[in-house]
Amino acid sequence: MADMPSFCVKNKDGGIDFKSPGKEFVAYIPEKYFERSIAEQEGDFYNLIGVYDYTIQDLKTGKNNGLHPFRLPTLFSTKPYSVEKRQQIRLTDDSEPDDYRIFRYQDGDTLIVSTELVQFIGNVEKFINLFFILGYIPNTIPYDQIHEYIIESAALNGYSYGINNQVFGFCISEVCRSKDNPSIPWRLSDTDDLHAYHSTSVKNVSKLISPYTALLSEDFDESILHAMMNNEPKDTTLEKVLVGEIK
């Protein structure tokens, strides 16, 4: 791991330790990770998908070096020295308030227990569930880098989708919505801010398009409600089929 950050050092057991005297590594793990089994506790250790935000804080002054995305999109084990629960934290101006567990590491603590990561297709499934079913893509990840996480998650587990990257682009372009108007995709929001998006579950996308596509949702009662509340309906091919305009 020659490209490791300067604050990381490989230990004798094959793991990665935080190495920065007088400073602290602070990781913000969304509480929803634990609710959806994307993160789990095993004694003093935690197993989780490495997609979250962190900062490095000076223990004396309390100053930090800004927020950064942690990028290891597969399951690994970690051992923070302290974990605390915090509610309704807003990490950036573009993000919504959310509940987090804050993992803290001081000099010598283990960030990654072992770099010999287990290759298991179930890890890829958890990652896809995180991004597309749970609909949680941290908007601290630049929009034009989201597809890289999907590819890396598969590669780290010895898998390849065998499809063109444009297919990922189609999916991402629908689940990432304008932060100011969820009814439109980020790509149509007339902004070049690569962080000005909010993600949603792929199951919710149909509800945002038209009353007819809203009816496709797995929850019919909720679908009817969304169809009735859609004040900006759009014409779709499905609508024309349903009303008999296309035979």
pLDDT value of position 202: 84
Tokens representing 141?
A: 């990840």
Q: Could you give the angle at which helices 146-156 and 121-128 cross, rounded to 10 degrees?
A: 160
> Tens digit of pLDDT for each residue in 77-94?
999 999 999 999 999 888
Q: State the Cα–Cα distance between residues 206 and 236, nearest whole angstrom.
A: 11
Residue 38 pLDDT grade (very low, low, confident, very high; cuts 50, 70, 90): very high
pLDDT value of position 159: 93
Tokens representing 181?
A: 């108007």
**Mean pLDDT across the stretch 163-181?**
91
User: How many H-runs (helices) and E-runs (strands) does the chain carry?
Assistant: 8, 11
How large a percentage of the chain has pLDDT more than 90?
70
Residue 110 pLDDT grade (very low, low, confident, very high; cuts 50, 70, 90): very high
Q: Which residues contact 171 (CB under 8 A, 6 or more apart)?
A: 132, 202
**Mean pLDDT across the stretch 128-154?**
94
Straight-line distance from the first to the last Cα atom of the chain, in angstroms, rounded to the nearest whole number: 58
Residue 132 has pLDDT above 60, yes or no: yes
Residue 177 pLDDT grade (very low, low, confident, very high; cuts 50, 70, 90): very high
Domain boundaries, the chain: 8-112, 121-242
Q: Which of 148, 157, 99, 147 is nearest to 126 (CA)?
A: 157
Residue 5 pLDDT grade (very low, low, confident, very high; cuts 50, 70, 90): confident
Phi, psi of 147 (to 5 degrees): -60, -30
CB atoms within 10 A of CB 60: 8
pLDDT value of position 243: 57
Q: How far is CA 168 from CA 17, 24, 71, 131, 148, in A?
A: 34, 36, 18, 11, 10
pTM of structure:
0.84
Residue 163 has pLDDT above 70, yes or no: yes
Q: State the Cα–Cα distance between residues 126 and 142, nearest whole angstrom.
A: 21
Residue 234 has pLDDT above 80, yes or no: no
Tokens representing 107?
A: 């000099």
pLDDT value of position 235: 57
Q: State the Cα–Cα distance between residues 199 and 162, nearest whole angstrom.
A: 25
Residue 210 has pLDDT above 70, yes or no: no
